[in-house]
Structures are given as C-alpha cells and as structure tokens.
Amino acid sequence: MNTNPYKDITPKEVRKLIREEKITGQTSGMCAGFAQANLCILPKKYAYDFLLFCQRNQQSCPLLEVSDEGSRFLKTSASNCDIATDVPKYRVWKNGGLAGEYSDVSSFWRDDLVTFVIGCSFSFEAPLIEAGIDVRNISENHNVPMYLTNIDTNPAGIFSGKMVVSMRPIHYSQIVKATTITARVPKVHGAPIHIGSPEFIGIKDISKPDFGEASTIKEGEVPVFWCCGVTPQSVVMNSKPDFCITHAPGHMLITDIPETFLQN
Amino acid sequence: MNTNPYKDITPKEVRKLIREEKITGQTSGMCAGFAQANLCILPKKYAYDFLLFCQRNQQSCPLLEVSDEGSRFLKTSASNCDIATDVPKYRVWKNGGLAGEYSDVSSFWRDDLVTFVIGCSFSFEAPLIEAGIDVRNISENHNVPMYLTNIDTNPAGIFSGKMVVSMRPIHYSQIVKATTITARVPKVHGAPIHIGSPEFIGIKDISKPDFGEASTIKEGEVPVFWCCGVTPQSVVMNSKPDFCITHAPGHMLITDIPETFLQN
C-alpha cells in the first residue's frame, strides 16, 4: 500500500517543495503514476561518449531527454523545472570520487554542462500496486535496495563499468504479472534483468544493499531485479570523468510524464 | 505475396551477393523476417549532434547500432559485414547536395567516420504478410513509395528538417491489425505516424512519391504512413554537413537481427 503523503499531489507541486528544501528525502511513492528520473550531468567534452553509452545500454540508461548544452531547463520531461534545484539530493563527483552531497547544485553550474534524464523504476511502482503487488520499499516506507552486480555494461568511449540493479521481493505467484506490467515500460527500465538467484549476478548478501536500504523478504517471495539508473554512478566511479553531477540514489527528479504515456 | 528470389536466403548470403555486386537493386522482400536498416555515415565532428537528433526523433531514427569512429565493421547488427561495400546502393553527399550514387564507397572511407544504423520498415513487412495483409510494394515488386512531409523533426545541434514517411495501402478492414503488428517493433519505426489523409501531412499527390515508386491503391484501401529512415537524408539536405554517406532509399543494409528479437 502507498501511504506516502505526497502520493496524490502534482509533480509541479512536489518540485516546488523540493526547490524550497521542504522535501529532502527519497522519492519512492511520490506523485503516483508519474515517471521519475535519474540524472547524470556531464561537461560537453564527455557528452558524446555518454550518449553513446546510453545507446549501447538502453535497459540501464533509457533516455527520457537530453538537455541543450549549458541549459538548466528541460523541454519535454518537466515544465518550469530547474535542474540544479529540483532534485532532493545531488552528488558531485570529481575524478570518479564522491566530492559531496548537496540539496542545490546552482553554485556548481557551468555553461558546458549537458543533462541526461534517465528513466527510473519508481515509475512503474504505481501500476504494480494497482495490480495487487506489494512494493516493499513503499509499504515499508524506505528507499529501494540497490546492488552493484558482476554484469559488465557495453563500453562506449571512456565509459565502462558494472551494472547496478534495484530489487523488489515479489511473491512467487505474482512474478509473471510483475514481469508483464514492467515489460510495457522499457523507458523506465522495463522487464526484470534477473529473477531469483542474487549470487548469479554477483550479489553476495541480499541483506546488505550497496545503495538504499534493505527490504524484508517474506516467506514465498523471490528477489526480482530490475536495471537501475544508478548504473551511471558505478560507471563514473570506474571511468573517472573530471567532473560530474548526479542525483543521490533514490532521490529522483519527478517528471510531468504520466507512466501510461511511456507504455508500449 | 512475397515472391522475391532472395526471400529465404540468409542475410550473410545476401550481403555477400551485394558485396560482389550481383545484387544492386532495392531490398524490400529479401531475407524475410530479418531487420533491414538505413545508414547515415558522418564525420565525428557531427556525430554528437546526429546522435542527439536520433534521441529526439526516435520514431524516425530508431538506432540499432552506432559504430566506433573509423570502423567499417559492426559489432551487434551484422557479422563479417563491411559497411562500405555491403549495401546495394549508396549516396555520397557534399554540403547538403547529392554528389553521386555508388555501389561501393570504400574509396570515400575516412578514419573519422561514424556509422549510424537505423531501423527500416521493410523489417515488419514479413509479419504483415503472415497476417494476411498484402504489402503492395512486395506484391508489385517495386521499391516502397516515400514522401517528404510538412512535419518538422525535433532539431538537435546543426540538424533539423522535415520528416520522410513510407506508405503502404491497407484495406480498411485490416488497418487495426497492421497498426498493432507494427506497434510491436518500435526499433523499426513501430506503429503508423498517420492513417488516411495525405494532405494533412503535406503530401499533395500520392501518385508521385519523392523517393521510390508509386504503389497501386485499390478500392477500399487507405494510405497508411510510417516514419522512414530516409528522414536523415532530408535533414542532410537541409542542414548541409560538409560530408555524408547514406544508403540510397530502399537499398538497405540487411542485418542478422531477427525481426521477432526486436518485438516488445
């Protein structure tokens, strides 16, 4: 069940509360039915390689929009949105290392930055719940658990690294339904990348996620894994561009795009 | 009905015949069930703008693969394929003007060229025929008719221009079926962009296509339009990069990718 207090308000209203720093936490469950998005913001000199990386890794990095160079505004994903202030928590990266976390990155903005808006699996949690599937990170009211895997992404230019996945425990009787519902929306990662055996994809301890918080796995439930838009952060750590801004895992941009609009 | 003599041979065999210049004509109906592709080959200095153009115009320019700079080979779409010889007819463009048509572009190759492999609607003609729909350009054994429309593409960097569409006449009783079948494969243009009224999209005379050859429209049939990968040629004419190689309309790269593999 989704009891998030921001479940039924509009993306525009939530972005305003985020801009005013009245919301600073993770966004799972907010604005049910609207697509949420990962950010990866890079200097133009890296933009071709990263755009190519997204083309070659579409399930991990499904692009919703790419901004014009230097622009803090978006044309199609969100109206009146300031990319530098409308996400609850950002990460600033220097040479592949985390330099800090901020609720506003205006002071870091540069005229050569290009913003990549990448679909997030939070977008399909509302239709899963509507279909009677308990989305544990929402019913337990915490960030989704995310794991670094042993799966290589397809390299492009300077960018390469391992895939990151999100996990939701699903009762064995509902796995097919969860798969078909999410397969309809490839722009927010689509169908699962793996079902059932964390060790096959290099996850040693399911109770210790690399990002986010652990979800309770109940009797009869199986861990189901989806590609995750935190993958660019794994790739940034590996490939070490001199400067990068991302969202903090789970602290997403909430777009104006209805999830149904993205369905195949 | 598909009576093309190359309907049932493999993509690898057809590419060999094309390389040997034993096949020089249009490719509709060849290698039924395998994806065919448009080419747009540009110097690296234009590659970011064009990749962004594809991201912003996915129905016109669904990318199947982007080569590494300077490489004449593909990694995922076709094995043992030489991009400079394995397409039956190429067009070389200089400053937005057509400089010539060739069956081999080896002599034009440069180390700074990047190849964009873009899905083609020929890929969904086999499943249309299997569903009992007469694909007129195949049963009449000619190139598909293509038209320049009045629909603007979404600009990116230097690239902008009007959309090109392909047309197949479909009996009114089969339009829904043709729509649902093609909607399954967005990577080869997906569902129609327009059904029924050529004048609404700027086509003045349906009997005079801008590229390819006219198809007979029979009693009870409606012209149905799909996005076309000749759009980059319209954009090249408008945006005038100093150098570009494309396929000639209808003379496609035949890939090793089964059309079913691309289905949602």
Task: Tell me what pLDDT residue B101 has.
Answer: 98
Task: Tell me what pLDDT residue B252 has.
Answer: 97
pLDDT grade, residue B104 (50/70/90)? Answer: very high
Q: CATH number of the domain that B154 lies in?
A: 3.30.2040.10
B158–chain A Cβ distance below 8 A for any pair: no
Note whether residue A116 is domain-resident.
Answer: yes
The answer to whether residues A142 and A109 belong to one domain is: no
pLDDT grade, residue A165 (50/70/90)? Answer: very high
pLDDT grade, residue A12 (50/70/90)? Answer: very high
Note whether residue B3 is domain-resident.
Answer: no
- Comparing CA positions, the residue from A251, A212, A213, A261 lying closest to residue A91 is A251
Under DSSP, the state recorded for A144 is P
The answer to whether residues A202 and A148 belong to one domain is: yes
Beta bridge partners of B258: B34
Task: Tell me what pLDDT residue A225 has.
Answer: 98
Whole-angstrom distance, CA of residue B120 vs CA of residue B250 = 9
Tell me the mean pLDDT in the region B94-99.
97
**Cross-chain residue pair A55–B47, CB shorter than 8 Å:** no
The answer to whether residues A27 and A78 belong to one domain is: yes
Residues of B in contact with A52 (CB under 8 A): 51, 66
Note whether residue B190 is domain-resident.
Answer: yes
Provide the shortest C-alpha distance from residue A48 to chain B (in Å).
5
Q: Residue A1 pLDDT > 90, yes or no?
A: no
Report how many domains make up chain A.
Answer: 2
pLDDT tens digits along B75-88: 999 999 999 999 99
Whole-angstrom distance, CA of residue A202 vs CA of residue A49 = 27
The answer to whether residues A145 and A81 belong to one domain is: no
Percent of chain B's residues with pLDDT above 90: 99
The answer to whether residues B21 and B113 belong to one domain is: yes
Tell me the mean pLDDT in the region B37-45.
98
The answer to whether residues B108 and B97 belong to one domain is: yes
pLDDT tens digits along B54-70: 999 999 999 999 999 99
Q: Residue B264 pLDDT > 90, yes or no?
A: no
Cβ-Cβ contacts under 8 Å between A and B: the total is 28
Q: CATH number of the domain that B39 lies in?
A: 3.40.1640.10
Note whether residue A141 is domain-resident.
Answer: yes
pLDDT tens digits along A245-254: 999 999 999 9
B48–chain A Cβ distance below 8 A for any pair: yes
Note whether residue B6 is domain-resident.
Answer: no
The answer to whether residues B114 and B127 belong to one domain is: no
pLDDT tens digits along B117-144: 999 999 999 999 999 999 999 999 999 9
The answer to whether residues A30 and A100 belong to one domain is: yes
Note whether residue A233 is domain-resident.
Answer: no
Note whether residue B72 is domain-resident.
Answer: yes
The answer to whether residues A63 and A160 belong to one domain is: no
Whole-angstrom distance, CA of residue B218 vs CA of residue B216 = 6
The answer to whether residues A163 and A245 belong to one domain is: no
A183–chain B Cβ distance below 8 A for any pair: yes
The answer to whether residues B49 and B79 belong to one domain is: yes
Task: Tell me what pLDDT residue B1 has.
Answer: 82
Per-residue tokens: B92: 């070389």
pLDDT tens digits along A170-208: 999 999 999 999 999 999 999 999 999 999 999 999 999
**Cross-chain residue pair A51–B55, CB shorter than 8 Å:** yes
Q: By CA distance, what is B53's nearest residue in A? A: A66
Q: Residue B114 pLDDT > 90, yes or no?
A: yes
Residues of B in contact with A184 (CB under 8 A): 264
Q: By CA distance, what is A180's nearest residue in B? A: B264
Note whether residue A172 is domain-resident.
Answer: yes
| Boundaries of domain holding B116 | 11-120+239-262
Residues of A in contact with B52 (CB under 8 A): 51, 66
Per-residue tokens: B146: 């293509």
**Hey, what's the torsion of the CAs at A193, A199, A203, A207, to 10 degrees?**
110
The answer to whether residues A34 and A99 belong to one domain is: yes
Task: Tell me what pLDDT residue A94 has.
Answer: 98
A216–chain B Cβ distance below 8 A for any pair: no
